Amino acid sequence: MERTFVMVKPDGVQRGLVGEIISRLEKRGYKLIGLKMLRLTPEMAEKHYAEHRGKPFFPGLISYITSGPVVAMVWEGKNVVAAVREMMGATDPQKALPGTIRGTYGIDIGRNVVHGSDSPATAEREINLFFSPEELVTYDRNLDVWIYE
């Protein structure tokens, strides 16, 4: 099964949106297999956002993402990477469709509440950055027969 890395960003934690974000993914039918709260060090933040190094918004992005605790998660399911991207909405909340997480809870691009991996390859890299293999839990869910045909 495909896996993706999801992170409730510091603004999402401060605003009490952790439960809401987990709830949306749970209700959709995706399976939570890893979860932790942590505060990113600048080193870890720069690794996570390495592709954006050198861009004008990079320093602000690093200070925002390290400004408070985040909730890091691994979710599993069919096409979960693309599905989470759709459920989050566009990077800029002003452009995110109503009903998406960012389109419901966000206004500014630099406070867009949530992160989700943009491809299966990125997901693998991000999962490995945040979680050791022992921290990911594999388990059977009896309700899967009611979610997958």
Could you please report the per-residue DSSP string of 53-100?
TTSTTHHHHHHHHTSS-EEEEEEESTTHHHHHHHHH--SSTTTSPTTS
Catalytic residue positions?
115
Q: Cite the annotated binding site for ATP by residue number.
A: 9, 57, 85, 91, 102, 112
Min dist. Cβ of residue 138 to Mg ion (A): 26
From residue 49, alpha-carbon distances to 43, 56, 60, 68, 139 in Å are 10, 13, 12, 17, 31
Does 148 sit near ligand DAT (CB under 6 A)?
A: no
Min dist. Cβ of residue 91 to ligand DAT (A): 3
Which residues in the 11-50 window bind ligand DAT by CB under 6 A?
none
Which residues in the 104-123 window bind Mg ion by CB under 5 A?
118
Does 120 sit near ligand DAT (CB under 6 A)?
A: no
Which of 76, 118 has the CB closer to Mg ion?
Answer: 118
Among the listed residues 5, 15, 119, 114, the one whose alpha carbon sits nearest the alpha carbon of residue 65: 114
Min dist. Cβ of residue 118 to ligand DAT (A): 5
Which residues in the 61-90 window bind ligand DAT by CB under 6 A?
61
User: Applying CB under 5 A, what is the total number of residues that bind Mg ion?
Assistant: 1
From residue 106, alpha-carbon distances to 22, 57, 97 in Å are 17, 18, 11
